[in-house]
Structure 1
Amino acid sequence: MADEKLRDAWTKSEKVLGKGNADEALKILREIDPDGEKATTLRIAGEATWAIAAKGTSKSEYRRAASLLRDAVKKDPRDKKANNSYNSILNEMQDKGIKETTMPRLVNDGTPTLAGIVALCTSIIIALMLIKLASESSSDLATEATLELSWTNADGSQSTGVVVVELYAEDAPIHVENFGILAEEGNYDGTVFHRIISNFMMQGGDFTRGDGSGGYAGKFFGYCDGQEADSAGDCPMSSYTVPDEADNGRSHAPYSLSMAKTNNPHTGGSQFFIVDPDAVGQDGSPGTPHLDGVHTVFGEVTSGFEHIDIITALCDNQNCQNDKTPQDVVLESVTTNLDDDSWWKFW
C-alpha cells in the first residue's frame, strides 16, 4: 500500500511538473517522502528545482537541483532517468558558467582527486589559522531565504507559491541576522501581508498583532525603540529594534526586500516589505528611490517573481480597502539556507 501511494504521488508530481507547476510538484513530494528516502523522489525534486532555477537567476537553485539529482543517482545508479537528468543539468550549468559546488570536490566516487588533495591540505592549514577567529566571531549568516505564500485570487480561487530571496549578508549583516533569527524561531510562519499598496509595495512581518503596529527584533542589537541602550536589561523584548544600515549602497529596485520602520531612525523590528515590480519613482526610475538611504535594503527576490506579480496586483484598480486585500495573503513559512532540518529545505 505504501509503495502504491508513493507511485501515485510520483505520477501526480510529474504530471503537474509537466504542466509547469514545479512548486506544486515539490509540495506533493514533501508530503509523501519528507526525508527523501527514495531515489525517484530525489530525481523528481531535482527536476522540479531545475525548472524553478531555469526561470530565475539564482545559481544556488541550480546547485540544489544538481545536488538532488546527484543523490538520486547515488541511491540508484541504474536509474536512467536520474542519470540523464543529472548529466543534462551539469551540461546546462557548464554552459551558464555555474559550478556544481562552490568548493573543489575532494573525492570522486570514493577516490581522492588531485584538486581535492590540494584543497584538503589548504583547508586544514587555513582552518588551523582561523580557529581562534572563528571561535570569536558570530555564526555564519544566511544568504538565501525561502518564503512559502498562500493567497486568494481575484476570481476567488486559492493559490500557493514559493519565493526565493537572496539576502545581502555583507551589505546588511545586522538586518540579515535579525531576519534569520525570526525565521528560525518560526515567528514569521502564518503571518499576513497586512499592507499592499498598488505600484508601491507589499508589507508583512508583524507577528504579534498582524496589522502593522507590532513585531520586534529577533534579539537585542543595542537599540530600544530606536534609542541606544547599554544592555538588554534596560529594554523590554517587545521594544527591541535594529540599527539602520540604509547607507549600504543598495537601492529600492523592483522586487527588493527592505526593512519597514517608523519615520524615526533605528526603529525597524520584524516588519519588512517587497517593492512592487510596477513601482516607479517621481523621476521615472523603477522602484521606490525616495526610500534609498532611509530604509535598509537587505535582499532581493531571485525566484518566484510571478507570485509577487500576482499578489501586488490584487490591489490594482482600487480592489482593496485601507491597503488590505479582501482575503489574507499569508506568509505560511520562512526558512533560510542555514536551516538543514529536512532534506527538502535545500531546494
Structure 2
Amino acid sequence: MEISFSFNEAHAPVTINVPANVGFTINVKPVAGLVPPVGGGGGGLNVNVLPPAGGGGGGVEQVVKANPKVFFDLAVDGRLAGRIVIELFADTTPRTAENFRALCTGEKGMGKLGKPLHYKGSIFHRLVPYQMFCGGDFTAGNGSGGECIYEDRFFEDENFIRQHTGPGFLSMENRGPDTNESGFLIGLQEDSLLGCETVVFGQVVQGLTLLNSLDRELGNRNNKPSKPLVIADCGQIS
C-alpha cells in the first residue's frame, strides 16, 4: 500500500510505503509554534489507519480519536450554580490531559497521601478577579498540596505549545519547573499568567458565561472566593 500526503501546495508530496494488511498510526501535532484551532474546530488528531476487515487488498479504515471532554458541576455555598465542560488537549499534551481526566473520574482510587485521587468535593482556593480561578488541591485545600496520578510526586512540564490566547484556557498550577501535581487554573482573559510558563492542556468549551458570573459574584481584593466554590461533581462526557 502506498500513501502520499503534502503539507501545503508549496511542498512536494511525501510518500510512505506500507506493507499490505499492516496497520499504522499517524500522530498529527503542531510544530514551530503553530497551534491548531480548538473548541470544536479541531485541535490535533491521532489518526489510526488499519487494514480492511478480513484482510485482502483495497482501501483502509481510518479511526480518528477526538480529544476527551470532562465536566465540573460547581456549587456556591452549597447551592448548585451550573456546569462547565472542558476539552482536554490529549493531542498535544497527552500525559497532562490524562492526569486531569483521571482526576475528574476518580478512577485511580486512593492516593499515597490518604485522599481519593478525585476533584469531586474540592474547592477553588484562589480567585483573582477578572484573571483566573485556581483549584485542584484536594489534599490541603489551600494550594500547597495536591497529588498526581503518576508514581512520582511531581510530573514534568510536557510542553508549552499552547498558551493562554483567550478566556477559558486551563493550565497547570505549580511551584516551578516540572512540579505538576493536581493543581490547575482557569484563565479568564488572554495571557492570564502575565507571561509565566505553565502547561496549557485544555479549554472551557461550555460554561464560560457561568465562570464570568461567578467571578463577579465571588471576586474580591483578598484573591479568594467570598463564598465556598466547590466542585460538587465531575466526570467524563466523551
TM-score, normalised to structure 2's length? Answer: 0.64
**Structure 2 residue 120 is matched with structure 1 residue 160:** no
**Structure 2 residue 229 is matched with structure 1 residue 337:** no
Separation (CA, whole Å) in 1 of partners of 2:54 and 2:182: 39
CA contact 2:67–2:91 (8 Å) conserved in 1: no
Matched residue, 2:180:
268
Cα 1:124/1:291, change in 2 over 3 Å: farther
Could you tell me which of 35, 44, 52 is aligned with 1:122?
52
What SS is found at the alignment partner of 1:332?
Answer: strand
Separation (CA, whole Å) in 1 of partners of 2:53 and 2:216: 49
Matched residue, 1:218:
149
CA contact 2:89–2:97 (8 Å) conserved in 1: yes
Matched residue, 2:10:
none
Matched residue, 1:31:
none
Count of paired positions: 176
**Structure 2 residue 131 is matched with structure 1 residue 197:** no
**Structure 2 residue 87 is matched with structure 1 residue 187:** no
Normalized per residue, the structure richer in strand is 2
Amino acid of the structure 2 residue aligned with 1:328: P
Amino acid of the structure 2 residue aligned with 1:268: N
CA contact 2:122–2:138 (8 Å) conserved in 1: yes
Amino acid of the structure 2 residue aligned with 1:261: N
Separation (CA, whole Å) in 2 of partners of 1:270 and 1:296: 12
What SS is found at the alignment partner of 1:191?
Answer: coil
Cα 1:288/1:218, change in 2 over 3 Å: same
Separation (CA, whole Å) in 1 of partners of 2:195 and 2:66: 25
The one of the two structures with greater contact order (alpha-carbon pairs below 8 A, sep at least 6) is 2
CA contact 2:218–2:227 (8 Å) conserved in 1: no
**Structure 2 residue 102 is matched with structure 1 residue 175:** no
Separation (CA, whole Å) in 2 of partners of 1:334 and 1:142: 17
Deviation at 1:289, TM superposition (A): 5.8
Q: Which runs of 5+ in 1 are unaligned?
A: 1-56, 61-119, 127-139, 225-239, 280-285, 339-347
Can you list the C-alpha shifts for 1:67-94, whole angstroms capped at 9, x where unaligned? xxxxxxxxxxxxxxxxxxxxxxxxxxxx
Separation (CA, whole Å) in 1 of partners of 2:203 and 2:54: 35
Cα 1:337/1:290, change in 2 over 3 Å: same
Identity of aligned residues (%): 27
TM-score, normalised to structure 1's length? Answer: 0.45
Bigger radius of gyration among the two: 1
Amino acid of the structure 2 residue aligned with 1:251: H
1:1-347 matches, within 5 Å, as: 58=40, 122=52, 143-152=68-77, 158-185=79-106, 187-220=118-151, 224=152, 240-262=153-175, 264-276=176-188, 279=189, 286-288=190-192, 290-291=194-195, 294-316=197-219, 318=220, 322-337=222-237
Deviation at 1:298, TM superposition (A): 0.3
CA contact 1:258–1:272 (8 Å) conserved in 2: yes
Normalized per residue, the structure richer in helix is 1
What SS is found at the alignment partner of 1:241?
Answer: coil
Cα 1:143/1:158, change in 2 over 3 Å: same
Separation (CA, whole Å) in 2 of partners of 1:310 and 1:160: 10
